[in-house]
Amino acid sequence: MEPVPDPMKYRQIRDSSSPDRAQLHPFLSGTEKQILWENQKKRFLKKSNNWDKLTPDGLDQLWNEALAPDLWGQLLDKRKTPDHPDLAKRVITDLKKKGVDSFGSRKIHTKMTREQMAACLKALPQLSQSHSFVFAWIRTLRNPEPVTEDGVFLAQAWSFLADLSTVHNRLKANVLYHYLAWEQKRGVYNKERFIAYLKLPRSATYMDGKYLSGFAGQTIDLEWQPGKYLSLPSVGRDKGLVWDFLAHFLRGKDNFLEFLPYVEDVELRRLFVAENLISNTGDPAQLAAQLDQPEFLEELKSRVDLNLLITNKQRFSSDELVQLDVNIKNVPTLLVKIYEVNTVSYYRTKNEEIPLRS
């Protein structure tokens, strides 16, 4: 036999403006709770200022109801976590009503899981044009904790971005540059990804003017800072990376035609000749004939190179043997000076830990 409800407590719940309170009352039978819920729900839906009086259980109860579109919008605004199984479906319905450009207008949008966002993208492919959606998707690649290792994150981010439209070129260039730089430090030179980067119309002096003319008003500003959306710095000047990749792929080759559509002819030709003369690959006379610039060849012959390789380790343990690779040319004697950081003086002066730079 079920306990008899306390009339005073029943009245207290009945008079409450929060419909879910009936679900929490321990003295009501299942039928009584359902009746009370229906009555209180009707009273609640007549007013638009009762949302703050709903507990999380009450909000979940409303997710199972047939609500008007504007009420669904308010319910989505009240959602703080993405753990409801119907969240993607409700967001899709809301976006169809408001338009895909409204993605990001509700806080729950940026808290959705990648699986939920994938469901939205499948139902609304035009979301791939939305900057807010794309940034929100890429942010999910950093989750869950622990933070995804940089190489994995960059690979996943580029895999998602690679086939998106040109409206995302600025973000594409940023992510792809950092992906190439990450691989470069590990001695990896991927030609397919490098050419994909070259094809992006960037405001760089070495790029072919005729090629850039086909992208009037669409050139990418490499100083763009995506830090508001991603933990990546701006690209800035990228010629160092581009020239290193070009030198790697041109070394020992018969020509440079593969890269000619994107890189200015004279600069590319000079790099091709220089790299193959220095590495002693190819016939010197034939290489010199490709470049009618005797002063450049003379300068190249006498040029002094002394460069630490990008593949060198940046950090060593205290008991590890330090080894560094150096690229030298016309350096008969190399003097190496080793300095010890005065840690005591640094702490006294700065009053802080010595920063570790990657």
Token readout for 289 is: 């004939």
Rounded to the nearest 5°, which phi and psi values hold at 308? -75, 135
Q: Can you list the residues of the chain whose pLDDT is less than 70?
A: 1-58, 143-149, 228-229, 356-358
pTM tops 0.85, yes or no: no
Contact 202, 238 (CB under 8 A): yes
pLDDT of residue 28: 46
pLDDT of residue 286: 87
Give the whole-angstrom CA distance, residue 246 versus residue 88: 45
Question: Tokens 């010629």 sit at which residue?
Answer: 239
Q: Helix, strand or coil for residue 5?
A: coil
Ramachandran area for residue 351 (φ above 0: left; ψ -120 to 50: alpha; else beta): left
pLDDT of residue 341: 84
pLDDT of residue 299: 87
Minimal CA–CA distance to 130: which of 229, 220, 55? 229
Half-sphere exposure of 252 (CA within 13 A, CB side): 2
pLDDT of residue 2: 47
> Is the sign of the CA dihedral 296, 300, 302, 308 positive or negative?
positive
Q: Hey, what's the torsion of the CAs at 206, 211, 212, 217, to 10 degrees?
A: -170
Helix, strand, coil share (%) of the chain residues, nearest 5: 55, 5, 45
- Give me the residue spans of the domains in the chain: 1-66
Question: Tokens 């300095």 sit at which residue?
Answer: 339
Give the whole-angstrom CA distance, residue 338 versus residue 340: 7
Contact 43, 17 (CB under 8 A): yes
